[in-house]
């Protein structure tokens, strides 16, 4: 029996040993582990931006409390906030502070809502206004006034919330076809919004002058004359939404991928989209019920927040803070631009948001298609 000779291995031949596979993590991301089973990704730049926005929001709120038809020194504002008696208790404590707090809450809710809707649709031009939330709230309010179901203006916020939720549910049902398609969802919302807007215009054309003025004042979106009564329900909704927002902050990550990849990773795409849409619509409808339809805040705040943080997904916390800064600042400008007249803040945000929308459209490459 012949035994094959042993083959000599060349001296310069080396056997490569497999090394441990590691996944590169972005340099600006830190993993926090408050509990062995809980890990949180912290984007350092996003944290810095959020801190800066908090400081900016505090400065804007203080300026809004100081400036107006009557100038109030900052030390008098701080004295009133501490509960000490002073000559400006009525102006600061009863008129300006509740209005400022409501503006910050409404702006935060709209910023969150816009970030959620834009994540679901994967479209920076989408917002709760596009999917018919504001139009549904307006149509429900008009219908309640026409039928006499609303006896006082205090019941209008609840009616508008119901109308916004109903309009969004109708859009979602009509857009569903073997799953929710983002492009179909946006187009359906535009169509429903146009139809509901026509209903409002018909009511304004045929109604009495007093009722028409009441509806038109609400439709412009304003913080004038609003305060703790409207801020209470919105605060409750935001607090109750905190667990859902924590879930949403993790759920938005896989939606940045295309649908097939997200599904291959085990993500229930349709369920996640439905949950994010419901959360966004509830926040937008409640904010609309508190202050009327204020346009373009939900559109601009998430995009501004994304450009500031440079994160792959739309940052929820930064979007909320950006929305609060934008709305409180816009309300301050609306009170100071044409004294003693006051511009409704909804009209001012629309005046500024229109050119911004055209700028976004101009940045979209021609023929570009976004994955669904």
Q: What pLDDT, on the 0 to 100 scale, is given for residue 30?
A: 60
Can you tell me the distance from the alpha carbon of 228 to that of 79, in angstroms, rounded to the nearest whole number?
Answer: 20
On the question of pLDDT at 13 being above 70, the answer is: no
- Residue 99 contacts residue 269 (beta carbons within 8 Å): no
On the question of pLDDT at 25 being above 60, the answer is: no
Ranking 111-120, 226-235, 361-370 by mean pLDDT, the lowest is: 361-370
Q: What pLDDT, on the 0 to 100 scale, is given for residue 331?
A: 92
User: Who has greater pLDDT, 252 or 306?
Assistant: 306
**Does residue 68 fall inside a structural domain?**
yes
H-run or E-run covering 362:
helix 345-363
Q: What pLDDT, on the 0 to 100 scale, is given for residue 58?
A: 95
**Does residue 101 fall inside a structural domain?**
yes
Percent of the chain with pLDDT over 70: 76
**Confidence class for position 364, pLDDT limits 50, 70, 90:** low
**Does residue 106 fall inside a structural domain?**
yes
Can you tell me the distance from the alpha carbon of 174 to that of 335, in angstroms, rounded to the nearest whole number?
Answer: 41
**Does residue 265 fall inside a structural domain?**
yes
**Does residue 326 fall inside a structural domain?**
yes
The CATH code of the domain that includes 74 is 1.10.3470.10
Segment 53-68 shows an average pLDDT of 94
125 CB neighbour count, 10 Å cutoff: 14
**pTM of this prediction?**
0.82
CA torsion sign for 305, 308, 312, 315 is negative
Q: What pLDDT, on the 0 to 100 scale, is given for residue 211?
A: 66
On the question of pLDDT at 159 being above 60, the answer is: yes
Q: Which of 220, 217, 282, 229 is nearest to 101 (CA)?
A: 229
- Residue 131 contacts residue 186 (beta carbons within 8 Å): yes
Choose from 18-27, 257-266, 288-297 the range with maximum mean pLDDT. Answer: 288-297
Q: Tens digits of per-residue pLDDT, 323-338?
A: 999 999 999 999 998 8
Q: What pLDDT, on the 0 to 100 scale, is given for residue 99?
A: 92
End-to-end CA distance of the chain: 69
**Does residue 203 fall inside a structural domain?**
no
H-run or E-run covering 275:
helix 269-291
- Residue 273 contacts residue 255 (beta carbons within 8 Å): yes
**Confidence class for position 26, pLDDT limits 50, 70, 90:** low
Q: What pLDDT, on the 0 to 100 scale, is given for residue 329?
A: 93
**Does residue 353 fall inside a structural domain?**
yes
Q: Tens digits of per-residue pLDDT, 257-266?
A: 666 666 666 6
- Identify the three-state secondary structure at position 39: strand
- Identify the three-state secondary structure at position 28: coil
**Confidence class for position 15, pLDDT limits 50, 70, 90:** very low
Backbone angles phi, psi at 42, to 5 degrees: -115, 115
Number of domains in the chain: 1
- Mean pLDDT of the chain, nearest integer: 78
Q: What pLDDT, on the 0 to 100 scale, is given for residue 361?
A: 63
Q: Which of 169, 166, 190 is nearest to 180 (CA)?
A: 169
Q: Which of 230, 232, 267 is nearest to 252 (CA)?
A: 267
**Does residue 75 fall inside a structural domain?**
yes
Percent of the chain with pLDDT over 90: 17
- Residue 218 contacts residue 159 (beta carbons within 8 Å): no
Choose from 84-88, 216-220, 325-329 the range with maximum mean pLDDT. Answer: 325-329
Q: Tens digits of per-residue pLDDT, 269-291?
A: 778 888 888 888 889 888 888 88
Helix ranges restricted to H, 72-152: 74-81, 97-121, 133-147
**Confidence class for position 157, pLDDT limits 50, 70, 90:** confident
Q: What is the extent of the structural domain holding 306?
A: 41-125+222-362
On the question of pLDDT at 227 being above 80, the answer is: yes
């Amino acid at each position: 029996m012949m035994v094959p000779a042993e083959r000599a291995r060349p001296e310069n031949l080396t056997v490569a040993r497999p090394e441990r596979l590691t996944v590169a993590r972005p340099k600006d991301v830190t993993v926090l582990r408050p509990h062995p089973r809980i890990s949180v990704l912290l984007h350092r730049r996003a944290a810095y931006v959020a801190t800066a926005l908090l400081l900016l929001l505090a400065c804007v709120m203080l300026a809004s409390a100081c400036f107006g038809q009557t100038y109030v020194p900052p030390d008098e504002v701080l004295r009133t906030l501490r509960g000490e008696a002073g000559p400006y208790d009525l102006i600061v404590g009863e008129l300006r502070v509740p209005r400022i707090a409501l503006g910050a809450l409404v702006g935060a809710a709209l910023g969150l809502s816009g970030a959620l809707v834009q994540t679901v649709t994967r479209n920076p031009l989408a917002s709760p206004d596009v999917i018919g939330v504001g139009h549904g709230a307006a149509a429900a309010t008009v219908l309640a006034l026409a039928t006499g179901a609303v006896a006082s203006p205090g019941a209008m916020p609840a009616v508008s919330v119901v109308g916004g939720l109903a309009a969004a549910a109708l859009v979602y049902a009509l857009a569903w076809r073997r799953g929710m398609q983002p492009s179909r969802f946006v187009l359906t919302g535009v169509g429903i919004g146009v139809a509901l807007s026509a209903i409002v215009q018909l009511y304004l054309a045929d109604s009495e002058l007093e009722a028409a003025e009441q509806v038109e004042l609400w439709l412009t979106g304003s913080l004038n004359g609003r305060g703790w009564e409207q801020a209470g329900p919105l605060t409750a909704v935001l607090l109750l939404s905190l667990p859902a927002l924590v879930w949403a902050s993790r759920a938005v990550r896989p939606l940045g991928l295309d649908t097939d990849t997200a599904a291959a990773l085990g993500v229930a795409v349709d369920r996640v989209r439905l949950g994010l849409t419901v959360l966004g619509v509830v926040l937008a409808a409640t904010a609309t019920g508190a202050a009327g339809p204020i346009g373009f805040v939900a559109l601009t705040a998430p995009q501004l927040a994304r450009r500031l943080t440079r994160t792959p997904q739309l940052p929820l916390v930064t979007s909320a803070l950006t929305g609060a800064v934008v709305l409180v600042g816009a309300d301050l400008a609306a009170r100071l631009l044409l004294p003693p007249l006051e511009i409704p803040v909804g009209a001012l945000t629309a005046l500024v948001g229109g050119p911004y929308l055209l700028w976004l459209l101009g940045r979209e490459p021609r023929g570009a298609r976004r994955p669904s």
